[in-house]
Amino acid sequence: MLSPVNVSLESLNLVTLAPMLIAVVGALSILVIDFFKSNLDKTLYVMVSLLFLLLDLGAVIDSAGFFMENGTMLGFFDVMLIDGLAILSQIIIVGASMLFIPLALTSKRFHEFSYPEFFALFLFMIAGFQFMVASDSLILIFIGLETASLALYTLIALHNRSKSFEAAVKYFTMGALAAGFYAMGSMIFYAITGSVEINQIAAVLQADNYSNIGYVLIAVVFMLASFGFKLSLVPFHTWTPDVYEGSSAALAGYMSIVPKIAGFIVVMRLFEFLIHSGVIWLEVVLYASVVITMTAANIWALVQSDVKRMLAYSSISHAGFVMAAILIGTTQSNSALFLYWIVFAFTNLGAFTMLWVSRAKNLPAGQSSDHSFEKFSGMIHTAPMTATVMGLFMLSLAGLPPFGVFWGKIYMIGSAVSAGYTVLALIMALNSAIAGYYYIKLIVYMFMKDPVNPGDYMINASNSLKTIIGVAVIFTIFSIVAINPLLEVITAFVYNSGY
Amino acid sequence: MEMLLYTALFSPLVGSLFAALFSTSKKTLIAGVIPSALLFLSFISSAILLTHVLNGETVQVEMMTWMATGNLYIPFGFAVDQVSVTMMMVVTIVSTVVHVYAIGYMDHDAGFNRFFAWLSAFVFSMLILVMSDNFAGLFIGWEGVGLCSWGLIGFWFHKEVATWAANEAFIMNRIADLAMLIGIFLVYWNTGTLQYTEAFAAMPYLDHSIVVMMGVFLFIGAMGKSAQFPLHTWLADAMEGPTPVSALIHAATMVTAGVYLVVRANPMYDLIPEVGIFIASLGAFVAMFAATMALVNRDMKRIIAYSTLSQLGYMFVAAGLGAYWVALFHLMAHAFFKALLFLGAGNVMHAMDDELDPFKMGGLKKSMKWTWIMMTLASVALAGIYPLAGFFSKDLILEVAFVEHHYILYTVLLLTAGLTAFYSFRLVALIFHGEERHLEHGFHPHEAYKFMLWFMAPLGVLAVIAGMVFKSPYFEMVTQLLPRTEYHIHNPVVFWIMTIGTQVFVIAAIAYAYSKYKNAKIDKKTEEGFFYQVLFNQYYIPQFYEEFFVKPYRELSSILWKQVDMKIVDASVDGIANIFYKTGVNTRGMSSGNLSTNLKWMVVGLVILLALAVVFAVIVQNGDAVISVLHDLGAI
Amino acid sequence: MMEIGLSHYLILTTILFSIGLVGVMRRKNLLMLFFATEILLNSVNIGFAAISYYIGDFTGQMFAFFIIAIAASEVAVGLGLLIVWFKRTGNIDLDSMISMKG
Amino acid sequence: MLEHILSILIFFPALAGALGFIVNKNSMRAYGVTVGAIEFALSLWLWFSYDSGVSGMQFMESVSIIPAFGITYLLGIDGISLFIIIMASFFTMIGIASLSPTKNEKNLIITLLFLQMTMIGVFAALDAIIFYVFWELSLVPMLYIIGAWGGPKRIYASVKFFLYTFTGSLVMLVGMLFMAYFYHQATGQWSFSILEWYRLILPETYQLWLFVAFFFGFAIKVPMFPFHTWLPYAHGQAPTIGSVILAAVLLKMGTYAFIRFSLPLFPDASVFFMIPIAVISIIMIIYTAMVAYAQEDIKQVVAYSSVSHMGVIVLGTFALNVEGITGSVFLMIAHGIVSGALFLLVGVIYDRRHTKLMSEFGGLAKVMPNYAIIFGMMMMASVGMPLTINFVGEFLSLLGFYQQSHMLTLLAGTAIIVGAIYMLAAYKKAFFGEITNEANRNLPDVNKRELGALIPLVIIMVWLGVYPKPVLEPINNSVESIVQLMHDKAITPAAKAAIPDVSKPKPVIQRAPAHAAAKHTSAHEGGH
Amino acid sequence: MFEAIAFYTFSFLTILMFSITVMTSQALYALTAMAAGMIFISAFFFMLSADFLGAIQIIVYTGAVMALYAFGMMFFDTTREVKEKIQNKNIVFVLGTMVALLVVAIFMAPVVSENIHALYPIQEGLGNTEQVGIVLFTKYLIPFELAAIMLLSAMISGIVLAGKKMDNSLTLMADEEIELMQEANEKVNS
């Protein structure tokens, strides 16, 4: 017979759920507002979203406090897992979202921001990502992933022009395939361990001493393929440039940060024990994919004629670079991942925002894409400040000291060095050199060529966009001051989470 | 004393700087007069210093530190001793004369001021060279005179040949200077110092081979400056400079720096007699070699230049054989009469509008009496006729060779003495005697300014008396520092036979030259002969250098730049960059934009990973079996 | 062979999954492509149910349950995109979507 | 103020540059000169306050920035860096002062001021990462200067310059991270402080690899053969001011870094690589001199001559004894002065004729006598005439290396020959002969602005050639301590033998003792 | 024995149906075959005593397929062949076969692990649906709720994308046009 299920509220550990709940409530309240009164201005939704995100961030930071005291928290029948990784990644996710959402306040009107559904879906998506990072159950990860992804596809399509539909369809279709891979991978893990929780899987595999190596490997293969898509590792990356080009620059920038950090967290949870299991295969395959992703993406970025596509490839390359952290698998490298991603987030968001402010409704005359290099020709003469800021972001992305990404880069390469991955460290360094070329290319256009079409560059700018750029600039330049506190916090969180 | 030393040393510098102030402005007489006066001051100081030295007082001062690092310590140190004071006297006398002479000679030249700046700078460098008490200071002067020589040879920089000759002289000297530098390094690392006294004091304790190396390298340095074979070609080409320059630099002073160096380094060369023999042999060879080229040359200044070269060979024979004081003595005497000869040639050139071919002259004694007298005097002195200077200095070298039992050297030198007399008087005969051929060419010769002649007079006097009067006091003085060896042929019969024989031989040569060239008959047959052509073309050595060094260097440079640097080194750098770019261009099709392809790529990735996984799994699970299978296949 | 074990189901899963893959790669029509993605997810469901049965654990069924939910959501969003695309361009052929490449 | 003078020196120009955005275009030059003069005055004050008797670091500043990773804002100078810093501020000042009217003058001056910050930063940094920060940052203003104000191929040249050096320095960065890692292994602490690293004695194999890693960064910067090909392009295309700064200061970063990093950190590797590097240096000297001889563009001649001279500097550095290293440091300054001046001079003629091809000139000595004189003096300095600044450095460098290898020094010594060949040939082509090109007939001679830049250089060139002591002495003291450090750290017998022990008394050479000793003391008194 | 026969039969049918779905060029055949395949899959669920799952499968896919039918009708002439330019057919099959072979190669090996501990063991005597209920509302409460959110957002997405709001692209319209349009809308609404 059925016995009554007694569950005490404390054991649920509600605090673990609070941040996501806030985001969901926020989304719902936006829908409710819209239900009562439609045709409200986007500024309202932006601010409401921002407020909920603020609360969300507060809740995350609150749970960070709990984490520092009590260590890793489990909640809701151990489905929720709040450890340092979850907290750090949620901070990045929510923080980046907060930087992103004001980008809706453009001076030109764009389709997506005119509708409250956009903001509701946006918050749902954030909740999805948060669930994804705050769990080690493959089921919840899957649902979180799909919640976020489905919302994201829609957000892309909402830009409402043919390129964005094309982008959304491509992303969606490949995402569906990746979901299939994910399901298959989970199934195999389940087959060999009888569990879909990563901790449990790890425990069983270790107890078995990886006797079912064949099963383990193909499970890993399917997972790698699935997350290879999410993190755009070569050859699963092909959607990235198209999707970035098709979406609005703001969203593209967002996509280069948030979905990927969520993906990294899952990959880290899943692969960390596998890397340390002594399965050489995984190391070799990860090594290869890291190197290929970094290098190939860089090489393709070299030949782009559109800045946004170039930045898309550059994001792929950066993701490959960061993927090395998973391969290296030390506390230092995992901390480096977070550090890198934080500094990268500011810079990359800044760079994409710079594209966003220059976005005209229609294609610039005589150009086939929104942000072709020609558009930036001679900007130093027409818009010196803008050119300087853009140049700054490019230099930072190139890893030029003392700008943001550099610190992430040296800490990452440093971790490779410390773990004995000498050749990898060299490859990482040399890839930065290749990358230098295409970042410099934009600088060359802006600073060294003569203007071709003197137009208002800041056509789409508004004060809030400028503020976001200002924040990104300040962080990028003065990141040197922030690195130490960041590093200390990150290392503490990562270390205490056992990674 | 110190004051005198500094006066002697720095007044030419002051003069040079003074003239340099006007270097870009129009001719100002004062720019010539002041340096000349300052040089005279320098001469007076040197003379006073000479009196001190004659009394046995030498001066050594250290002005200031130049370089000091590690164990190296190089000061600006100057010494006035018996050797350097000799050189100082020679330099100051000749240069004073030349300066004054040049005021007249350069009268109409646009670069008058600049000329004096260079010329005084040269004197300063030369004085540094001779007065320095260490190798580094010597090197400063060494390079300084090279620089000034460059500036003065190329003085008429609008002339292509002049600038070419200047560069040639500079570069050739540089080649030798490298050896000199290496010699200096050797001295430093083996003795720990560059001061002459200390270094020489340490040398007897060194490994013999090291000393040999020092001697050789330093001598190669000397060879460059003194234009010894095979670095001799620049000297003849250097005649493109104004004649006072030739007189001062390329006859009296700079070219003798090599001899000075060997004399200065006598404690070292005494340790390595084998190098000395080499020096002497080379000297004898050059004496002969240069004299032969002088025989047929048709350029007045070049003839004198070859003569200089020949005489330098004499000096090296003496120095190489250890007769340092003899070498120095000949250096001094030679400076006087050779400078005189050049200045006379300058007068002739002036008169002939810079014509240099003596075959176009003739009979000039009518219009240029004084010049004729002085040039004849100088030629007689050069030929070594008693009682002029050459007799006492040059024939002494023959005696040295004889006494030291180097009979081959002796024979060569003796023959050369004959040749010397021949070509000297060939020149005199062609210029001053015979018909006035120059009239055919439309020249209207005139005698030089009076003051120029007046100032040449001291040289003439010195050319006459230097040997006879100075020899014994000089010997007494200089042998306080140099080995006091007297070279006497003790058998009086041999002595007289030799002395008289030599005189007769030389006079015969003079007579033959005079008779042959009085009328400037050109013997076509001889001229077309092989030997004549070889000599006339300077043994084809300049052509050889041009073909085998200059051209290949130029071409190789061009190849290195255009082929190696641009097409290999740079192209490979760009090539590496291009590999990446081309790869990008060729593979960007992977993102074809077609969703179907994208999906296929994902599956391809999956398949690759799966294949790797299966292979790995099979290997792990059937490790032993796989290995044995591979073993059977002979793969392992 | 007659004893049906877990492997049988897993192999069936694989075969169906591969059919789904073939469909995904082969189809140029967007709607038909969505069918193939459904096949992918459903094939995995068989595997989950089988594992769940053979190891006597309930989790597999739960996973399958959620996969069905996910599949349903994907259909909703996918069809939404499909409609928009069709409205805008008048066809749903993949080969028409090549405005962005490189 | 004195305790923060290095920070002030570094950041003052940058701050001034940032404020310069506000200054009106027309007054920008005056502003730039003022800032440059203040900076130069500050650097002179630095020299004045520098205690030349002390061999170690002075004016140290230390602020921990990223203690978690051992990165400290650590500054300090010794005799080696002091003069390069002074030179950097000096050249920026006269560079701005001598600037011929250009478009976007304001941007150029601001860029120069930023460049100055990075240059001084490189030479003052004692923390590897801070060093690296400035090292890399210096590329950016230079990229802009070449790319925006350069010749027709400026973009190619600037990008090549940037990427080439960037690549090299990234390899170096990996080396630095390794170094920090080894330090971490040895002490349990992260540190990038060079002074801390000095205390580390590494096994030889590690030294070799790290040496190679650092070498890439430095060699490309120097630039050493075969990594030199960016330089002719950069110089050929750069505007005058760019070439001047590049030649005078930026190239010195590489050779300076050899002395600051490679030698003391890896003494055994330095000895191991001494001969190969010497061979490369000799190739640099001879090969690039020959290439310079073949050039048609006078600026390229000077550019290649830079490479050739840098060869002597590297050779002197790898003499690994006090004489050689002191010589090479001095030669860095000398080469800075001389090649800087030569580039300024080329700029003078370029401003007038807008061409640098020697075939376009000829007989310039007649129309521009003052110009010819100054050019001639600088040329003679460049070929190493004694009593000019170059000679001191070249002499000491070669002298130093002679201790290590006789043959190689002989080959390297050909520098004085081949150098003369291309320089004299170029001078002859441009200045001598008749005026063949009518366009040259009425060229104005150097004007006051140009003289204002050139005369100080001439004065320095002669002054330090005649009396190098004020510069040589501080350098010598610092170099002695570095050589001593290397000797003490060396582990292989070969290295112990090759690196002299400075602390030991001067090797006694057999000679008449009383005489020599007496002489020597008196000599020293004379020197002071 | 019965089990084996059922398994092989349904396997054959499922594979056949899905193959048709994938291979046919008739849209309606494909739709129908897929629907059939889905139903056959539910048979496996029933065989594996996952009754609830089987039921859900039938319900969901009937619903979903109905919807698909509707769309199929909308987009295609039901009798016409769908034209697809299919290049490189072979690659597709090679890749598909390779995936199958490689995975099957591993799946041939038995899954053995003594360390499997069922977290939610299937209890005898309880109905499948009841057990689903228990697990769903305890352990998988959060996923369940999240799935609800997912469905909600998917629904919103579907409505937004398919609805009228996407008809006019504000992104491409000039500001004046947008205002004109909004005024028109307000008039309609009022």
Residue boundaries of the structural domains of chain D = 273-466
Task: Closest CB to A177: pick one of B602, B612, B617.
Answer: B602
Chains touching A by CB (3 or more pairs below 8 Å):
B, C, D, E
Residue-wise pLDDT for D128-181, tens only, equals 999 999 999 999 999 999 999 988 999 999 999 999 999 999 999 999 999 999
Domain borders along chain C are 6-97
Number of domains in chain E: 1
Q: Which of B152-161, B349-358, E118-127 has the highest mean pLDDT?
A: B152-161
Residue spans of alpha helices (H) in D318-414: 322-353, 364-367, 369-382, 389-402, 406-413
Question: Is residue E153 in some structural domain?
Answer: yes
Q: Name residue C12's beta-bridge partners.
A: none
Looking at per-residue pLDDT, the higher value among A166 and E106 belongs to A166
CA angle D181, D187, D193 (to 5 degrees): 65
Query: DSSP letter at D262?
Result: I
Closest CA to A93 of A297, A262, A333: A262
**Model confidence over D172-223: pLDDT tens digits?**
999 999 999 999 999 998 999 999 999 999 999 999 999 999 999 999 999 8
Residue A17: CB partners within 8 Å, gap ≥ 6? A75, A76, A80, E142
pLDDT tens column, D445-496: 888 888 988 999 999 999 999 999 999 989 999 999 999 999 999 999 988 8
Tally of CB atoms within 10 A around B116: 30
Judge contact between D214 and D261, C-beta under 8 A.
yes
CB–CB contact D158 A414 (8 Å): no
Instruction: In whole angstroms, give the CA distance from residue A345 to residue B237.
Output: 74
Among D94, D103, D107, D100, which residue's Cα sits nearest to residue D20? D107
Q: Which residues contact A172 (CB under 8 A, 6 or more apart)?
A: A153, C74, C77, C78, C81
Q: What is d(CA D281, CA D310) in angstroms, rounded to the nearest whole number?
A: 8
CB B13, CB B124: distance < 8 Å:
yes
Residue of E nearest to A106 (CA): E171
Confidence of residue C14 (pLDDT cuts 50, 70, 90): very high
Taking the CA atoms of residue B197, residue B198, residue B200 and residue B202 in that order, the dihedral angle to the nearest 10 degrees is 160
CATH architecture of residue range(s) C6-97: Orthogonal Bundle (1.10)
Nearest CA-CA partner of B607 in E29, A218, D510, D209? A218
ipTM exceeds 0.85, yes or no:
yes
Spell out which residues of chain E touch residue B614, defining contact as CB-CB under 8 Å. 102, 105-106
- DSSP-derived secondary structure for B542-571: HHHHIIIIIHHHHHHHHHIIIIIIIIIIIH
Distance in angstroms (rounded) separating the CA atoms of residues D218 and D215: 5
Contact of B181 with B189, CB cutoff 8 Å: no
Mean pLDDT of the B5-13 span: 90
- Among A410, A408, A380, smallest CA distance to A392 is for A380
Instruction: Measure CB to CB from residue B604 to each of E95, E105, E106 and give the nearest one.
Output: E95
* DSSP annotation of A169: H
Q: Is A24 an interface residue toward E (CB < 8 Å)?
A: yes
Please, which residues have CB within 8 angstroms of residue B56's CB and are 6 or more apart in sequence? Answer: B480
Judging contacts by C-beta atoms under 8 Å, the chain B residues touching residue A228 are 605
Look up tokens 């005199």; give the residue: B428
Sign of the CA dihedral running B134, B137, B139, B142: negative
pLDDT tens, B88-108? Answer: 999 999 999 899 888 888 888
Taking alpha carbons only, the member of B219, E175, C85 closest to residue A173 is C85
Angle at D76 between CA D70 and CA D81, to 5 degrees: 125
Q: What average pLDDT score do residues D51-72 get?
A: 89
Q: Give the dihedral of Cα atoms B359, B364, B369, B375; nearest 10 deg.
A: 0
Average pLDDT score over residue span D56-74: 91
Can you tell me the mean pLDDT for D300-310? 92
CB contact under 8 A, E99 and B603: yes
Cβ neighbours of residue C21 under 8 Å, at least 6 residues apart? A180, B603, C36, C40, E95, E96, E99
pLDDT of residue B28: 85
C63–A139 CB contact, under 8 Å: yes
Classified as helix, coil or strand, E83 is coil
Q: Do chains A and E touch by CB distance (3+ pairs < 8 Å)?
A: yes
- Quick check: helix, strand or coil at residue A375? helix
The answer to whether residue D434 scores a pLDDT higher than 90 is no
* B361-378 average pLDDT score: 84
Give yes or no for a contact between D5 and D45, defined as CB atoms under 8 angstroms apart.
Answer: yes
Give the nearest chain B residue to E92 (CA atoms). Answer: B600
Q: Provide the 8-state DSSP code for B241.
A: S
Predicted confidence at residue E86, as pLDDT, reads 66
Q: Are A323 and E136 in contact (CB under 8 A)?
A: no
Which residues of chain B are within 8 Å of residue A220 when distances are taken between CB atoms?
613
Rounded Cα distance between D195 and B51, Å, is 61
Q: Which amino acid is at E181?
A: M
**Residue B204 and residue B215: Cα distance in Å, rounded?**
13
CA-nearest of A124, A111, A251, A246 to E165 is A111
* Residue E61 and residue C75 in contact, taking contact as beta carbons nearer than 8 Å: no
Question: Would you call D19 an interface residue with chain A, using a CB distance cutoff of 8 Å?
Answer: no
Per DSSP, which regions of A261-345 are E strands? Answer: none
- Domain coordinates in residue numbering, chain A: 13-362+369-496
**Residues contacting B511, CB < 8 A, separation 6+:** none
Q: Is the minimum CB–CB distance between D63 and chain A shorter than 8 Å?
A: no
Residues 553-592 of B with CB under 8 A from A: 577, 580-581, 583-585, 587-588, 590-591
Query: Taking a C-beta distance cutoff of 8 angstroms, is the pair D335, D254 a contact?
Result: no
> D188 with D180: CB under 8 angstroms?
no
Distance CA D479, CA D78 (A): 9
User: Which of B155-159, D104-108, D437-441 is predicted with the least confidence, judged by mean pLDDT?
Assistant: D437-441
Q: Which of B590, D169, D163, B596 is closest to A316 using CA atoms?
A: B590
What is residue A24's predicted lDDT score, i.e. its pLDDT? 94
CA angle B165, B332, B247 (to 5 degrees): 30
D162 — contact with chain A (CB < 8 Å)? Answer: yes
Q: How far apart are CA A8 and CA A5, in angstroms?
A: 10
Closest residue in B to E98 (Cα–Cα)? B607
Confirm whether E81 is domain-assigned. Answer: no
Provide the CA E28 distance to its chain's centre, in angstroms: 17
For B482-498, what is each residue's pLDDT tens digit? 888 888 777 888 888 88
| pLDDT tens for chain A, residues 1 to 499 | 456 666 676 777 778 888 999 999 999 999 999 888 877 888 899 999 999 999 999 999 988 988 888 888 888 888 888 999 999 999 999 999 999 999 988 888 888 888 889 999 999 999 999 999 999 899 999 999 999 999 999 999 998 888 899 999 999 999 999 999 999 999 999 998 888 999 989 999 888 888 888 888 999 999 999 999 999 998 899 999 999 999 999 999 999 999 999 999 999 999 888 888 878 888 899 999 999 999 999 999 999 989 999 999 999 999 999 999 999 989 999 999 999 999 999 999 999 999 998 888 777 766 777 888 888 888 888 888 899 999 999 999 999 988 999 999 999 999 999 999 999 999 999 999 999 999 999 999 999 988 876 667 788 888 889 999 999 999 999 999 999 999 999 999 999 888 8
* Contact between A466 and A389 (Cβ < 8 Å): no
C-beta of residue C90 within 8 angstroms of C-beta of residue C24: no
DSSP label of D250: I
Q: Is D458 helix (H, G, I), strand (E, B) or coil?
A: helix
Q: Would you tell me how many other CB atoms lie within 10 Å of the CB of residue B589?
A: 11
Q: What is the dihedral of CA B346, B351, B356, B361, to 10 degrees?
A: -130
Contacts of D369 (CB under 8 A, 6+ apart): B23, B24, D445
Please give the radius of gyration of chain A, using alpha carbons only, rounded to the nearest integer: 22
Per-residue pLDDT at A4: 60
Name the percent of chain B in helix, strand, coil, to the closest 5.
Answer: 80, 5, 20
| B65-94 residue pLDDT tens | 888 888 888 999 999 888 888 889 999 999
In sequence order, the β-bridge partners of residue B134 are B195
Q: What number of other Cβ atoms are within 10 A of residue D368's Cβ? A: 23
Q: What is the per-residue pLDDT for D503? A: 79
Percentage of chain B lying above the pLDDT 70 cut: 99
Q: Which of B24-33, B88-97, D290-299 has the lowest mean pLDDT?
A: B24-33
B-chain residue closest to D377, CA distance: B147
Please list the residues that pair with D64 across neighbouring strands: D72
The residue range of the domain holding E173 is 140-190
Q: What is the pLDDT of residue A423?
A: 93
Cis bond before residue B542 (omega within 30° of 0): no
SS3 for B229? coil
CA dihedral sign of residues D15, D21, D24, D30: positive
B213 compared with B495, residue with greater pLDDT: B213
Q: According to the model, what pLDDT value does residue C4 have?
A: 83
Q: Are strands A73-75 and D58-66 parallel, antiparallel or unpaired?
A: unpaired
Average pLDDT for B587-600: 87
Whole-angstrom distance, CA of residue B128 vs CA of residue B78: 8
Binding-face residues of B in 595-634 toward C, CB within 8 A: 595-596, 599-600, 603
D303 touches chain B (CB under 8 A): no
Q: Which helix (H) or strand (E) holds A344?
A: helix A331-357
Decide if B605 touches A, using CB distance below 8 A: yes
3-state helix, strand, coil in chain A (%, to 5): 75, 0, 20
Whole-number Å distance between alpha carbons of B509 and B488: 26
- For residue B166, list chain D residues with Cβ-Cβ distance below 8 A: 424
- Closest CA–CA distance from residue C3 to any residue of chain E (Å): 7
* Contact at CB, B607 and E95, closer than 8 angstroms: yes
Specify the higher pLDDT residue, E76 or D522. E76
* A75 three-state secondary structure: strand
